[in-house]
Structure 1
Amino acid sequence: MLFLDIAIIIVYFLIVIGIGVIGSRKAKTIEDYALAGRNLGFFMYFGCLSAVILGGASTIGTTKLGYEFGVSGMWLVFMLGLGIMGLGLFFLKKISSFKVLTISEFLGKRFGDESRLLSALVASVYALMVAVTQVIGIGTVMNVLLGWNLTTSMLLGGGIVLFYTILGGMWSVTMTDIVQFIIMTIGVFFVMLPLSLSKAGGWGALNQQLPDSYFSFTGIGGSQVFQYFLLFCLGMIVAQDIWQRIFTARTNKTARLGTILAGIYSLLYGLAVSIIGMCAFIVLPNLGDSQNAFASMAIETVPTGVLGLVLAGVIAALMSTASGTLLASSTLISNDVIKRYFVKNASEKQSMIVSRLTTTAIGAVTIVFAVWIQDVLVALDVAYAILSGAVFVPILLGFFWKKATSKAAFYSMISSILVIIGGLAIEGLHSTNPIMYGILTSFIVMIGVSLVTENHPSEVTGAMEERSRIS
């Protein structure tokens, strides 16, 4: 890379740091810090939600899959898009009716304190692991761009994300996400995709030079597509970072329309990035590590000056998801664990201090894990496997089945977590079976225990039933 491109990326880093400082002035209450005051209009909401969905796995991971399998590599992001659309169509109205900060706070109101604590720990681990994937992605891109050591790159990128997230919370994340959404949209759709196709010789050249399997929507394998459904489609429905963004919308209409359009945007993004990976297979057939396909293709095809913008867009996508999931994890721990059990009756100022300290600690753990794991897709698989298996069934039945009991929710989460972790340990991190076993176990335990235990509806459950009768 030439100095101009590196300068553009450095300027971008300085801009997001500056936005973090501005955001710190707006985050005066815990609701400002965690939910941007529940006051985002349509464009801000749509851009922020799209930015948090599409991060390291969506960009770097899908390019890698496109390089290895062709157009079917899009299924990873397709399932994210389908999951977010399903959330908007079927769950959003019920979610928005509760004035809560976290997914586990809802489960606590529905099923009691034990379920709240357990779900908070599970969901925070999921959010932390997704943040880990983004820091790995940032390090990978900077490693290819600047030739720096991968660990050094992750420390720098992760440190910048942590800095502006600590300062302003959701206000900083929101303002940086809008910048990042614009940059990544221009970089991927209007620069990287057309230039990659041109460099590869056009769509005709792809047809001639790539194997037929690269144009099959099932080339990656039916079992892998099903695994992505279990991991990402179901995971989107019960992800704290997504719920937290929904709570930032000014109105339910804004939340619903923005969520559906963000899902459609995700589908288009997944297709575009998988095609870039296919082009990279032709242009760079001997690439040593396919995880570097996007950054290497950008260096190969994009002219000086524009290259800095494109790669800033990739880093933007990574940073937006990293900051959103980092904040989600820290909100879960601070709101549902620390302030509930250790710092009770905290004032607004004390709550802000707790939130910032928790964000700092979670961010440090995230960077350490990123340096340790160093594989985007492995970290993401583990995160979504535990979340989908443990939390999806209690959330689903908590919304739609009146007879679900507190004991059933708690035991279903415990049993599914044990089954999933045991299955991953025995069959390997890439196996689909542990997720299916975990979800099936969760259903069986949830229904079975609910049928043999007495249900004591909470005030919230009664309110849910009343709203159901009214609607």
Structure 2
Amino acid sequence: MHSVDILVMILYFSVLIFVGILGARRAKTSEDYIVAGRNLGFTMYLACLAAVILGGASTIGTTKLGYQLGMSGIWLVFMLGMGIVVLGIFLAKKISGLKVLTVSEMLQSRFNRETRLISALVAAIYAMMVTVTQVIGMGTILNVLLGWDMTVSMIVGGGIVLFYTILGGMWSVTMTDIVQFVIMTIGIFFIMLPMSLSKAGGWSNLAAKVPANYFDFTNVGLETIIQYFLLFCLGMVVAQDIWQRIFTARTMTIARYGTIGAGVYSFLYAIVLSIIGMCAFVVLPNLDDPQNAFASMALQTLPSGVLGIVLASVVSALMSTASGTLIASSTLIVNDIVKGYFAPDMSEQRFMKVSRLTTFTIGVFTIICAVWIQDVLVALDIAYAVLSGAIFFPVLLGFFWKQTTAKAAFYSILVSTVVILVGLAVKGISSTDPIVYGLIASFVTITTLTLAAPKQKSVAAE
């Protein structure tokens, strides 16, 4: 990298830290810290939601898939977007009307405290693992571009996110997300895409140079498409980091249409990154590690100065998701476990202190996990396998089947989580089977126990 690009990156990091400090000044209550005072307008809400959806796996992972498989690389992010659109159409109105802070708190209001506890643990694990994927992504980018050791790169990137998230919670995350959304949109759509196509010789030359099956949208394989649906589409519907963003919307209308808009943005993002991956295949056909396709293509294609902007856009995508999932995990632990079970009368000041300490602890833990795993797609698969398989049916049936019992919901989460973890251990963390087994176990458990329960024990939806 040229010194100009390094200067741009340093300036970008400095802006994020400054904006994060400004956000900290607005975080005066627990609602400010957790859901930005429930006061975001449409534009800010859409930008922040899109920023948290599209992170390291979305950017680096989709470019990698585009490099290896062509246009069928869209399916990972396409399923994320589909989950968000489904959420916006069918559930955003219900979610935004809840006077809760977490998915688990909703499950307690619908079922019981035990269901809240176990769902909080599962959802917190999911959020932590998604944060791990973002730290890995930041490490990958800084490692390729600056030549730093991978471990050092992850510590630096993760440390900056941890700093501004601890300071102001959701207000700091929201304000930095606005900056990150603008930069990632400009960098990916208006700089990287056209310049990658130009470097590859234009669309016609690209089409002639890549294998014919690169334009087959099923090239990734039907089994993988189904896997992405089960992991990412269903996972988005019940993800705490997404629900927490919905709670920040000022009105139900903003929550619904802003959520749908963020889903559509995700579809476009998927297409653009797959094309960039295909361009990298033409320009750099012998990459040792396809996970470096985006960063290597940027180095090969972009002039000094512009390179720094595009790299900042990638880091923006990573940091926005990392901060969102970090605060989501912290919220679940503090609100649903610490406050819910050990300190129900916790004061606002005490809540803020415990939240910051918990955020710090989780942040350090995720950086350690990132150093250990170091594969962005593997970490993402683990996160969504546990979330989708364990939480999807209790949340869905909790909304739409009022006969569902608290006992059924609790044991559904417990049984499916065990099934998924055992399946991942036996079949391997890249296998599709554990998520299928988990969903089946969840559905069978919750329906069987509900139907077997005496009618007078059924819990009516509130």
Q: TM-score range by the shorter chain?
A: over 0.9
2:16 equivalent to 1:16: yes
**In structure 2, what is the equivalent of residue 468 of structure 1?**
none
Of stretches 419-428 and 182-191 in structure 1, the one that deviates more from structure 2 is 419-428
- Letter aligned with residue 330 of structure 2: S
Are the aligned partners of 2:129 and 2:379 in contact in 1 as well (CA < 8 Å)? Answer: yes
Are the aligned partners of 1:161 and 1:323 in contact in 2 as well (CA < 8 Å)? Answer: yes
Poorly superposed stretches of 4+, deviation over 3 Å? 454-458
**In structure 2, what is the equivalent of residue 73 of structure 1?**
73
- Letter aligned with residue 131 of structure 2: A
2:61 equivalent to 1:61: yes
Cα separation, 2, equivalents of 1:102 and 1:418: 23
Matches within 5 A, 1:21-420: 21-420=21-420
Cα separation, 2, equivalents of 1:254 and 1:97: 12
After superposition, the C-alpha distances for 1:126-154 in whole angstroms (9 at most, x for unaligned) are 00000000000001000111000000000
**In structure 1, what is the equivalent of residue 444 of structure 2?**
444
**Partner secondary structure for residue 25 of structure 2:** helix
Cα separation, 2, equivalents of 1:462 and 1:383: 29
Runs (5+) with no aligned partner, structure 2: none
Are the aligned partners of 1:41 and 1:249 in contact in 2 as well (CA < 8 Å)? Answer: yes
- Letter aligned with residue 441 of structure 2: T
**In structure 2, what is the equivalent of residue 469 of structure 1?**
none
- Letter aligned with residue 377 of structure 1: L
How many Å apart are 1:456 and its aligned residue? 4.0
Cα separation, 1, equivalents of 2:375 and 2:317: 17
Cα separation, 2, equivalents of 1:106 and 1:338: 17
- Letter aligned with residue 5 of structure 2: D
How many Å apart are 1:17 and its aligned residue? 0.6
Are the aligned partners of 2:130 and 2:325 in contact in 1 as well (CA < 8 Å)? Answer: yes
Cα separation, 2, equivalents of 1:91 and 1:337: 25
Q: 1:93 to 1:457 in 2, by over 3 A?
A: farther
Q: How many residues align?
A: 461
**Partner secondary structure for residue 31 of structure 2:** helix
Are the aligned partners of 2:199 and 2:283 in contact in 1 as well (CA < 8 Å)? Answer: yes
After superposition, the C-alpha distances for 1:313-368 in whole angstroms (9 at most, x for unaligned) are 00000000000000000000000001122223011101111111111111111111
- Letter aligned with residue 231 of structure 2: L
After superposition, the C-alpha distances for 1:385-418 in whole angstroms (9 at most, x for unaligned) are 0000000000010000011000000111111111
**Partner secondary structure for residue 250 of structure 1:** coil
- Letter aligned with residue 325 of structure 2: T
Are the aligned partners of 1:330 and 1:359 in contact in 2 as well (CA < 8 Å)? Answer: yes
Runs (5+) with no aligned partner, structure 1: 464-471
Are the aligned partners of 1:327 and 1:359 in contact in 2 as well (CA < 8 Å)? Answer: yes
How many Å apart are 1:450 and its aligned residue? 0.4
Cα separation, 2, equivalents of 1:457 and 1:324: 36
Cα separation, 1, equivalents of 2:406 and 2:250: 32
**Partner secondary structure for residue 355 of structure 1:** helix
**Partner secondary structure for residue 303 of structure 2:** coil
Cα separation, 2, equivalents of 1:428 and 1:369: 18
After superposition, the C-alpha distances for 1:70-93 in whole angstroms (9 at most, x for unaligned) are 100010000000000000001111
How many Å apart are 1:462 and its aligned residue? 4.7
- Letter aligned with residue 240 of structure 1: Q
Are the aligned partners of 1:407 and 1:453 in contact in 2 as well (CA < 8 Å)? Answer: no
Cα separation, 2, equivalents of 1:245 and 1:51: 11
How many Å apart are 1:457 and its aligned residue? 5.6
How many Å apart are 1:27 and its aligned residue? 0.1
Are the aligned partners of 1:235 and 1:384 in contact in 2 as well (CA < 8 Å)? Answer: yes
- Letter aligned with residue 5 of structure 1: D
Instruction: Report the RMSD for the aligned CA atoms in angstroms.
Output: 0.9
After superposition, the C-alpha distances for 1:54-80 in whole angstroms (9 at most, x for unaligned) are 000100000000011110001000000
Cα separation, 2, equivalents of 1:238 and 1:344: 25
**Partner secondary structure for residue 26 of structure 1:** coil
How many Å apart are 1:453 and its aligned residue? 1.7
Cα separation, 1, equivalents of 2:101 and 2:385: 23
After superposition, the C-alpha distances for 1:138-182 in whole angstroms (9 at most, x for unaligned) are 010001110000000000000000000000000000000000000
What percentage of aligned pairs have identical amino acids?
Answer: 66
Cα separation, 1, equivalents of 2:223 and 2:314: 29
Cα separation, 2, equivalents of 1:108 and 1:63: 40
